[in-house]
Amino acid sequence: MSAPLLQVEGLGKRFGGFVALSDIELEVAEGERLGLIGPNGSGKSTLVNCLCGTLRNDAGQVTFGGHRLDGLPAHRRTRLGIARSFQLPRPFPTLTLAENVRVPILYAADVKLGRIPADPRRRCEELLDMVGLLAKADRKPADLTQIEMRKLELARTMASEPRLLIADEAMAGLSHQEVDDILALLMMLNGQGVTIIMIEHIMRAVLAFSQRLVVLVAGRKIADGDPQDIVRQPDVVAAYLGS
Amino acid sequence: MDLSFDLLGNALVSGLLLGGFYAAVTIGVTISFGMLDIVNIAHPAFIILGSYTAYIANSVFGFDPILSSIVLLPAFYLLGVAIYHVYDVSFERRGDASIRGLAFFFGLLFITEVTLVLTFGVDYRLVDAPYIGPSLHFGVIDLPLRLLVPFVVSLALIGALQLFMSYTFIGRAVQAVAQDPMALRLMAANPSKIKRIAFGLSIASASVAGAILIIIQPVEPSIARDYIGRIFAICVMGGLGSFSGTIVAAMILGIMESFTSTFYGPSWSPAVAFGFLLITLAIRPAGLFGRG
Amino acid sequence: MRNLLFILLAIVAAVATFAAAKLIGNAYVFFAGYVVLQYIVLATAWNILGGYTGYVNFGTAAFFALGAYTTVVLHKTVPFLPLPAMMLVGGVISGVIGLGMGYLTLRLRGTFFSIATLAMAVVAQTLITNWNFVGGSRGAYIIRPASSPIFPGDYIQYLFVVMLLLSVISVSAARAIQHSRLGYGFSAIRDDEAAAEASGVPTLRLKLIATALSGGLMGMAGAPLPYYVTYLDPASGFSLSYAVNTIAMPLIGGTATWLGPVIGAILLGTLQQVATVTISSALSLLLVGLLLVGFVIAAPKGIVGWFTR
């Protein structure tokens, strides 16, 4: 059995007196589709931030593709192959969509290919086309709708050629059809070999997407396994509905 | 370097008194930068403006500088409200606060300084008051009233502001808006209005700070720049937004400057505050009392 | 437009400028022109860190004066050194200082960096004021050579040409950066630093590069100053008007491209030269301050922004 792509051991994070994450153990295999759920405030985003380097974890260690991530700044982790989309999209407001996607191509993609892609512009167009935004390539993010911003966010995440993509509530607030669009996009990316961790509240999407489900409550992992089994577990149900 | 006890003792005492004064000078920025996150680097210019208004009240009308500065508090408050309004409409609402906001305040600093130069010239100005000459003596320790009175006024000013912050609705709202503007909105208070009041208070404090400044030393327009470093060094060291932190950090800086001045000469004083600021920013930006 | 073509065009423009100045024949044109060119360099240098990367430097005077005082030291120790060499030394020293200060403060928020630059300017001024070798607060006298070492003409014309070349270099560099991979990185940092990090941009490293470049160019702009003024003291070398002008010019001209600082420098620089002669230097400074505040409030994209919709 080959080593997992991502290995999290004993991860902990506190903010002053508040314990956001405690003793998190997690393994993600290459090519897997993992769903991460939990009530609001359970620490999901904090976990993502610790994995990606936006926050430093206080305890435990994270190993990615054989590399220890301790102390590595966020840009190094992106170059190693972890990419995340932000919960609230954070496009570069003064740059066009094409330029937005170009930044990660110039700064992160070179790692996978061993050099900066020969034709960044063509790659930009490919990525924007993949999310259906090619027509707006020369517009600014301010001209986009909510779902278009989410798609731009995903396109930009993909531009860094990640091995692991963490989609942090990419579907929040979207309509039924829009959720399906994003779902299809993520499935396609997974089909191309990208390992995906999906953090979501929209149950039908998570259940349709995930091969495995992890549940976080109050900073602790309380369940990890087959999605259909997990959602029937009493403590998981209690966490969402109250006991 | 003469390490005699009375030299040391006097340096310590003047440092403490100076520190008290520095706290009054900084408290406005503790509010505007520490609590409201507005980088008002023009604050020293308003203090100097306060010095000049006290100077006019004193030299033309013969009023006591400190009392006249208190009378002028509403005027400075309104000035602060007006400036905040422009800042809010031009930058904060547009979400463009950083570069342009900084440039705005820097421009204000500059305009104020040049206008003062044009109006009053570059000569040093001072005020006349019965407590400027005499000193109290305790053994080998001298307590110049010139430093003692500002020290007392400074603590009174900060005390009054602290009471306002803790015991009035608006004061508590200001503390709330510093921590969580959204929650404040949910409590049916308008963050913009609260910030406006707080900023007004911040500039009002400059009136009193300016008056006690011109009691301690003669004033001319360009000394505003010496105070930028001191103010922000104290504000950062004190943990941004903490009144008690401001007082403690101000005392520490006052003592350090006093010692440097006594043993190495006054020409090194400006560097003390700034050097301190650079080191604080490099090592512990949260300050002594900061929320890590 | 290819970088090389732009450099050639810029050199042509520079030659034309010099020829025009010679044609006018009035020595004052060279005196005033030097100042305007100096500001083109300063404004362009400032904009690399300020406009492109989003970090406001209030301490222009420090880098500028460090370059000037480096020349004073070199003039006293190795006076035979040609001016361009002195400029290089001044530039390197300013660049290194910028790097050092950046390393201390660039990991923090932009506002702390800006405050620190103000701090650095005062520390630098205090150190120089207390350094007797360069004259301390009494200042230093520098003898200006009688004639230009390269072409027939007086030394002021030589300084004019030197500054003209430095302008060409800095503007070309700024333009090249703007369209390069480095430029994309800077823009990303300016727009959203956390998102830039997440996109793989090494933000600290790029900010340090911008600071070193910006500081170094400012140092090079300051290096010829002692020969221009012949008397240099800390008060004038570290004058706040340098800081205000270097910020006002790009903000008024437009911070997004290389053209904005050039327009701002030419307009504001010329305006001030005229105002100083006709009204008073204090009033002309007031004018700069008012224009700065006015533009920042009403025209955030600057003059260039009026033409690009």
Q: Among the three residues A105, A125, A159, which one is the final residue of a domain in this structure?
A: A159
Domain CATH code at residue A186: 3.40.50.300
Rounded Cα distance between C44 and B221, Å, is 30
Total domains present in chain A: 2
What is the token pair recorded at B292? 């890590």
Q: Nearest-CA neighbor of A13 among A51, A68, A67, A63? A: A51
Question: Does A147 share its domain with A171?
Answer: no
Count how many domains chain B has. Answer: 1
Q: Assess if residue C85 is contained within a domain.
A: yes
Residue B6 lies in a domain: no
DSSP B3: -
Report the candidate in B36, B24, B15 with the shortest Cα–Cα distance to residue B174.
B36
Residue B103 lies in a domain: yes
Domain presence at residue A120: yes
At which of A159, A182, A210 does a domain end?
A159
Chain A residue with CA closest to C52: the answer is A94
Is the distance from CB of C222 to CB of C90 less than 8 angstroms? yes
Asked, for residue A194, whether it belongs to a domain, the answer is: yes
Please tell me which residue of chain B has the smallest CA distance to C136.
Answer: B267
B contacts of C122 (beta carbons < 8 Å):
225-226, 228-229, 270-271, 274
On whether both A243 and A196 belong to a single domain, the answer is yes
Q: Which range marks the domain in which residue A23 is found? A: 1-72+162-243
Question: Hey, which of A229-243, B273-287, C38-52, C262-276 has the most confident mean pLDDT?
Answer: C38-52
For residue B231, being part of any structural domain is answered with no
Whole-number Å distance between alpha carbons of B177 and B92: 14
Enumerate the residues of chain C whose CB falls inside 8 A of the CB of residue B118. 282-283, 286
Tell me, yes or no, whether A52 lies in a domain.
yes
C300 lies within 8 A of chain A by CB: no
Q: Does some domain include residue A77?
A: no
- The number of domains in chain C is 1
Pairwise CA distance, residues B31 & A167, whole Å: 39
> Per residue in C64-123, pLDDT tens?
999 999 999 998 898 888 889 999 999 999 999 999 888 877 877 778 888 888 878 888
User: A91 and A140 in contact (C-beta within 8 Å)?
Assistant: no
C309 in a domain, yes or no? no
Distances (CA, A) of A102 to A84, A125, B80, B198, C238: 16, 10, 44, 43, 41
Is pLDDT above 50 for A243?
no
Would you state the pLDDT for residue B292? Answer: 36
Beta-bridge mates of residue A36: A199, A214
Tokens at B76, concatenated: 């400075």
Rounded to whole angstroms, the Cα distance separating B102 from B179 reads: 22
- Residue environment code for A150-180, b if the CB has 16+ CB neighbours within 10 A, otherwise e: bbbbbbbbbbbbbbbbbbbbbbeebeeebbe
* Residue of C199, C203, C209 to mutate, testing the A interface (most A Cβ within 10 Å of its Cβ): C199
CATH at C215: 1.10.3470
Q: State what percent of residues in chain B have pLDDT above 90.
A: 38
| Contact criterion met (CB < 8 Å) for C123 and B233 | no
Is B237 part of any domain? no
Buried b (16+ CB within 10 A) or exposed e, B75-106: ebbebbbebbeebbebbbeeeebbbbbbbbbb
The residue segments making up the domain with residue B213 are: 20-225
3-state secondary structure A155-216: HHHHHCCCCEEEEECCCCCCCHHHHHHHHHHHHHHHHCCCEEEEECCCHHHHHHHCCEEEEE
Model pTM? Answer: 0.89
User: Average pLDDT by consecutive 10-residue portion of chain B (292 residues)?
Assistant: 72 89 93 88 94 93 90 95 91 67 90 91 87 79 84 92 89 79 67 89 95 92 84 85 89 90 79 77 63 40
Task: Please provide the average confidence, as pLDDT, over all residues in chain A.
Answer: 88
Domain end (from A159, A194, A223): A159
C188 in a structural domain: yes
In a domain, B126, yes or no: yes
Contact B98/C297, CB-based, under 8 Å?
no
Rounded to whole angstroms, the Cα distance separating C40 from C168 reads 9
Task: Mark whether A59 and A170 lie in a shared domain.
Answer: yes
Is position B35 within any domain?
Answer: yes
Residues in chain A closer than 8 A to C198 (CB atoms) = 52, 54, 74-75, 78, 83-84, 86
Residue C309: the pLDDT is 56
Write out the two tokens for C191: 């727009």
ipTM for the assembly: 0.89
Is A66 found in the same domain as A169? Answer: yes
* B166-204 pLDDT, tens digit each: 888 888 888 887 776 666 666 666 778 888 999 999 999
> Would the pLDDT of C260 be above 90?
yes
Contact C198 A116 (CB under 8 A): no
Amino acid (one-letter) located at A21: L
pLDDT digits (tens, 9 = 90+) for A84-126: 998 889 999 999 999 999 999 999 876 655 666 678 888 899 8
